[in-house]
Structure formats: C-alpha cells, structure tokens
Chains A and B, each alone.
Chain A
C-alpha cells in the first residue's frame, strides 16, 4: 500500500521534538498571516494592534474583524480535518480513508445546496430566520442527520462492523449526491454560482461570533480523539486482537465515528468542502513520525493548522485583489508535495 509500510525517521527524539517545533512554526505563521494581505501591515504594527488600542481604525478593523477570524478559522478547521483524517484512516485501517469516504462531507454539502437552492421557496422560513447563518446551519444539521442515518445502518446487528459502516456510507453517499444533482439541476444562475463556490471551499467573510461555535466543536472533538490515541494504536493490531488486549472495540469505533462526524460537520458547514487536507497531512506526519497516535494526532492537528493557514495565505494574496478558492490551493500545492514525499520514501527504501 502506498507509503504505508515505510517511515522515514523513527527516532524517539524526532517524535518528541517535532511537536514543539510544529507549534512554534504555527505561531510564526499565525503572525505572518495576520500581517499579510491586500493592505500591508508590518509585523511590528500587527503585534502592537493585538496588544493595545491603536488610532488607525481601518487597520484595526482589518486585523480584528477580517484577518483574525479568518486565520483562526483556517487553523482550527485545518487541525480538525487532518485529525479526523488520521482517525478515519485508523478506524478503517486503510490509508485512503477520509471523512469524505463514507458520506460525511456530502451530508453537509446536501444541507448547504438545499439551503442555497430552496432558501427562497421551500425553506424560506428557515432562511429568513437564520439569515446569514442559514447555509452553515443547514449544512451542519443535514450532515448530522446523514451521519445518524449511516450510524444506524452501520450498527444494525448491534455490532457496528466496519464493513457495514463502509457499505452504508458509500450507499448513502451515492443517494445524497443524486439529490444534490437534482437540486443543482433545478437551481437558477445565481444559485448555481453560489453552490459551485461553496463546494470549492472558502474561509472568507466570517465574524468572530459566527466562527466561535465551530471552533468550540472542532477543538472539543479533537481533544476527544486525542484521548483515544492509545486504544487506537492497539486497534490497528486488528479488532479481535485489540479486544484480547482489553479494549472495548465497538465503543471505540462508535466514539471515533461520532467525534469525526461532529468535527467534520462543523468544519465543512462553515468553510465548504476543502479537499485533501484530511488525506495528505496524516500521511506526511505518519511518514515522519510513524503511526503512533500519541504523536501522530497532535502532529496532525498542528500540521493541518499549518497547511490550511498557509494555503489560505496563498489563496488570498497570490491574485490580489481577487481570491483563489482554498480547495484549489490545497489540492494544487498538496498533490505535488505529497508525490515528492512518496518518491523520497521509495528512494530511501532502496
């Protein structure tokens, strides 16, 4: 299996060091991202504005109301997607798994598309009441509903087997995508444009107040997943084997599924589909640190935060004053980078 049987470096020292190093890089990127953009603000000014009141109202607003929420969101969503990816890969014992595989992401897409297309007719009440929040709330609710459906199907005989979860997920994914297709078909020009952009993902235009619930849910789920890292390691031995070592495998699988579903729902609802982060970051981290989730999951959190905030920095500065959809950047930068890592591993293995 691709890049799975290999690890580049396995020394304990590198694993212990990597997390503080990643953390420091994250902090640096955070401040650099704050200072970069359409309006240039120096790093020194940025620091000043974060710590004390300043006269320059425009710059203050740019930092506090535009850039800070956006960077926070990009970091937390990146961390959430990458951690969920790693957890899903462990759950399915397959390196190609990510939350998109079993229909979690398309559950959110369904809600978003339905709210965009039917917001003026069928869901007029819903849209009017929630206003600006209608699309994210719709996406979140629909994602949770779809996940509950998959969960119920997967837990049919009380055992929650991975195969039934996977099959149920794939089937539901297909159905959901069919409904999205129908909704796309009946949408008008403006709606079509809206939903196309939603599906490419965007981190723009959110206030601090709007992203707070998302941040809370994602951070909570990540902490929940981090606490499962030891059982997840043992789970990779095999289900029967993990049970013999003393792990309640069914409970573990349910916990991972619920955390992943909630976390992905919260992320995708507000940013749209951002592909590749959940797949690539865990892979890179596993190549560097090995598969031990006690190191892998925190490293994925930091790595995901780093990747998405850097990608977003590119997305909003590369074509000023226009902006590139973030999903394009993650795929365009992530893909080649991932290939280089793979080739290096193969050369190293020879």
Chain B
C-alpha cells in the first residue's frame, strides 16, 4: 500500500470543474499535509478545463488522467472498473470522492472492489493512530458520528458545508496518463429514457422560497410559488408535503432531496427538522416564518417572523411587487 491520498472525480460539472472539487481538495490538502503524503487528483474521462489551475491552487502533486472512448458517458460500470485498475497500480491509502447522486453508488462499489472501508456523508476527515477518523452525519443530520477506519478507505465527502481555501503554497502538478483496459467491461444498466435536465435547477437558485406543512393545504403551495416568482427565485418544499403530493419531488429540499445554497432561503411553515436543514443550511441568509416561536427553524434563521405563513407570504409578495 502506498500512502498517497487521492481525490477522484468523474464528472464534468457545470462551471469547468467537477462538483465540489475545490471544497473536497481543501479537506484533502489539510489531511495530506497532516500525514506528510502527496495529494494526487485522479480525473476519469474527459478532463474539465479548470482542473490544472485548481490542482495547482490546492497543492496537488500529480494529475492522474484516465481517458478511454468507453468513458464518454461516465457510466458506472466503466468508472468503477477504471478506478479499480488505478487502485491496483497506485494503491492509494485514501480515496476522496465528492458525494453526488452518481458517486453515492460508485464510491461503495469501488470500496468493494479494492477491499477498502467506505464512509459516505463525510464532513471531515482527520488522521488518527494509524487510522483515519471520518466524521459523518447520521439521523438526517441530527447527529454526527465519528468512524475509525484502519486500512484503505473510500470516503464520500458532502462538499456543501465546506469552504474552499487555497493551499499555503501552490504546486506545479505533474500530469500522468494512466493506462487501463476497459475492453471487457460492458455497462449492465441500459438507459431507456434520460432525465430531462432542461430548465433552472433548485441547487443553483440564488433565491429559494420553500413551504412545509404550515401551508395546511395543497392549494396554498401557490402562495410559495407566488413569492418565489415575485423574487425571481424558485419554489422548494419540505419532504412531508412532497410525500403528500402537494408538489412534485423536483422541489424537495433536504437530505433525500436537493441541497441548495442560495443567497436567500425563505422557509414558510417548515419546522426545521434536521433532514430538511441539510438542504438549506448553506444558505447565506435564512428567513423563517412559523406560527410556533419555539420551532427549530428559528435556531438556523437570521430573520424570523412568528406568524401564519398563509398571511405573511401574500403580504411579502405584495410588498415585493409594490416595492
């Protein structure tokens, strides 16, 4: 086993960098420095344009690149096989992966292939006595759990609560092309109908107005949509009202829904259950509207209105339009 610490990315991202790359690299840099080992970046598939600059900024020693015509769509079976072969060649001690919808499946599969421990939902990683100590969320964010892992480990890092920070000294990363053989790997899952990714995404919205059970009735979800439209933002929802069918799951914010990080998040009639807060805790400003002044949501909020969201939402919409 070598000692290297590897950040592995296999998505193109939307801004020239893989999702969460800078945040996870910041965490990885800190850990590599503490362990006195190289930080390498394994890029699977076509290399996004911003990789070299970000690698230098975060003190990456090597940019290891695996490309192959079979990796064009970055489907899971070929990605897992490519990373498995890389691990066979390089034997990294730690593999850090930014947690996304796709990596949530790929990360544990890689761990199974290489016999490594696996921890998802990680928010911090530290070195222990010959072990790695991983802090992850549990119970929908209600608790934090520390796990000790001896031996190699694959870690899925939730990048949203992390802040990117440049390394103390930038590096001049060396590019290495890694050869793998994917000839015998065939994708076992066939896509019949792709998800339509058209339209704006809640995850990238600058303003989100979200509603919960405090709306009392499905038809009142319109009040949330009205304020969202007036503010030029998007409408979100808590899981209970999505489960009840008041709106569809594309609006669901939280642990099992969308993770948002807007400038402004308005939570109307939402109590503040941890599993919801996972999806909006990174908001720059959180405004809470709830009839119960003791509701947990006010612990997270910068501004609170104790009142009925059925009255406050229309008043806000009117004021936004009038102003």
The answer to whether A and B assemble together is: no
Interface set of B (CB-CB < 8 Å, partner A): none
Interface set of A (CB-CB < 8 Å, partner B): none
